[in-house]
Chain A
Amino acid sequence: MLSEIAKKKISELKTKFPERKSAILPAMHMVLEEVGFYNKDILKQVAGLLGLSEMEVAETVSFYTYFPKEGVGKYHIQVCTNLSCMLLGAEGLVSYLEEKLKIKVGETTPDGIFTLSAVECLGSCGTAPMMQVNQIYYENLNRAKIDQIIDDLKMKK
């Protein structure tokens, strides 16, 4: 599933650090960028490219929550629900998105376009409530803004 360019870039990481295992997270960031998620086959490929065992790669990757697994929607909506955001309406934001997308937190729309998650502080507490969609931050949210954002994403599909 990885392109030849990505494979080449990942194998180049092998010698970039004093220890090979240091290349696991950078390689996974490349996977995220190119494929958008990972699965067992991808971990196996990454392990092969880095000259590590599958187990070593899986052991490390499973510690981290940032890389989505296969099945995640095209747009991964991650709403911060930590304290500062909660004080300014994060729960209402989550319910509004649930209503709008007709899914619950942790679910993906049947067309595979949206996944909704509730996450921890994203370092944007002064512009609460906020959410992240894939790599982009959306801040100071209200209903009107959400309507706009979701409409725009649906148009892009």
Chain B
Amino acid sequence: MEKILFKYIDFPEQYRIDTYIKNGGYRGLPKALEELSPVQIIETVKKSGLRGRGGAGFPTGLKWGFVPKDSQKPKFLLCNADEGEPGTFKDRSLIENNPHQLIEGMIIASYAIGAHKAFIYIRGEFAFGAKRLSEAIGECYKNGYLGKNILGSGFDLDLDVYRGAGAYVCGEETSLMESIEGERANPRLKPPFPASVGLYKNPTVINNVETLSNISHIVLNGGEWFANIGMPKSTGTKIFSLSGHVNKPGNYELPMGITVRELIFEHGGGIKDDRKLKAVIPGGVSTPILTPASLDVKMDFESLYEAGSLLGSGATIVMDETSCIVKAAYRISKFFEHESCGKCVPCREGTRWIRLILERIENGKGREEDIELLRDICTNIIAKTVCPLGDAAAVPIMSSIEKFRDEYEYHIKNKKCMVDLGTRFV
């Protein structure tokens, strides 16, 4: 299959506007501005079947269509480049190696929704990415792709990079808006949805980096072309960030619907040191864990949901037979405790209790009733918080108990790991 987003990812200096143009860039934009109306662009994106790559998989064209057309208020486009879901490192690559592909998509999206101001919210740690983007944006202003009267079309757009400052919750769309507004990034209750009340209380569309990077290709090649790639309800390609115990970790752009096995064994070169596979987390640490029994599950929104997990961000974390599931769960729980913003009591208190209990199990002080206690706490977080961070903290723990209960029981009874964890730092 020919790659779409990663076709030129390793091409020397692809981040420069002249290289990008030489390799076929900035062709979707003039087509959008000269030949298509905003409504036609939204129709094309709908037809493509493109769904959000930030984790929730919401249909992109549908989201754009929710922006009220008759509203006199200014509209905003936001690009979510907060990339904080542990295991995920695809947006960073798209930004650092092909920033214009993202920017071209953003200009088209802004035109489609009627926005004249757009922001890329990038996590603070991606200092290099932020610099790359700022330089690319500078090139755009110089060449008439941003600013007033873009390519003589009469359409104006200003684009800015806004740097975050180390808070995972800022990746949640309404927290991200609070963050740009200079507030503590606590999520907002929905409805109202951002399409009507978003940034500075104005209609706002927010999309992930990978989502927006697809747009110029869809406009150029048509919705049908995109819809024919991948699966019927999960169209196009997906960038899978593969990490953990594999021989060839890295980002892989593959059609939606390849199997877990293909990703790990064909593309990722199999398990390191010829060990056996124990578990796979398919969509970042927020998603339920899978066992080797799920190796033939297809990686797309529907198939992974049916298999009891989620596609999430497509971050696939591979654990071999020397991994301790309790320890992994404990590490995940520390993350969510640290990142809970503290607004909702079930999440704030629950994530702390989950961590404390897993800590004592991990340290050989677990009690027999702890497994049920953990399940009880998780149940009392799920669906009881303003934003899905609470669910994200509870669901993986629940699934690890469900799939690997024997490891928990062994840990509690024998006061140690079921496996011998060799030191790995050489």
Contact = CB atoms under 8 A, between A and B. Distances in A.
B182 interface: yes
A26 interface: yes
A92 interface: yes
A126 B166 contact: no
Interface in B249-272: 249-251
Interface in B143-173: 162-168
Given A84-B243, A87-B244, A64 B165 contact: yes
A87 to B, nearest CB: 5
B86 A126 contact: no
Contacts of B85: 121
Given A28-B165, A67-B165, A87 B245 contact: yes
Given A83-B86, A87-B319, A137 B181 contact: no
Interface of B: 83-89, 91-92, 123-128, 162-168, 179-185, 200, 241-245, 249-251, 281, 285, 315, 317, 319, 323, 327-328, 331-332, 335, 338-339, 341, 423-426
B323 A87 contact: yes
A121 B249 CA distance: 16
Contacts of A123: 83-84, 88-89, 91-92, 123, 125-126
16 contacts: A21-B181, A21-B183, A23-B182, A64-B167, A65-B166, A66-B125, A82-B335, A84-B87, A84-B317, A86-B327, A92-B425, A123-B91, A123-B123, A124-B89, A125-B86, A126-B250
Contacts of A135: 127-128
B128 A137 contact: yes
A120 B89 contact: no
A120 B86 contact: yes
A84 B244 contact: yes
Interface string A53-93: 00000011011111100000000000001111011111111
A122 to B, nearest CB: 5
Given A25-B162, A129-B425, A142-B426, 18 more contacts: A18-B200, A29-B163, A62-B184, A63-B184, A65-B166, A66-B166, A82-B335, A83-B87, A84-B86, A90-B425, A92-B423, A95-B425, A120-B339, A123-B126, A124-B89, A125-B315, A125-B317, A128-B249
A103 to B, nearest CB: 18
B88 A142 contact: no
A89 B83 CA distance: 23
Nearest to A67: B165
Contacts of A125: 86-89, 241, 243-244, 249, 315, 317
Given A126-B249, A126-B251, A86 B331 contact: yes
A93 B89 contact: no
A139 B333 CA distance: 25
B425 A121 contact: no
A24 interface: yes
B328 A83 contact: yes
Interface string A16-34: 0111111111101100000
B166 A128 contact: no
A15 interface: no
A126 B245 contact: no
A86 B251 CA distance: 19
Nearest to A78: B125
B426 A143 contact: yes
Contacts of B426: 89, 92, 142-143
A11 interface: no
A88 B87 CA distance: 13
Given A29-B163, A82-B86, A123-B123, A19 B200 contact: yes
Given A83-B285, A126-B251, A128-B249, A121 B163 contact: no
Contacts of B319: 87
Nearest to A24: B182
Given A65-B166, A83-B317, A84-B86, A120 B335 contact: yes
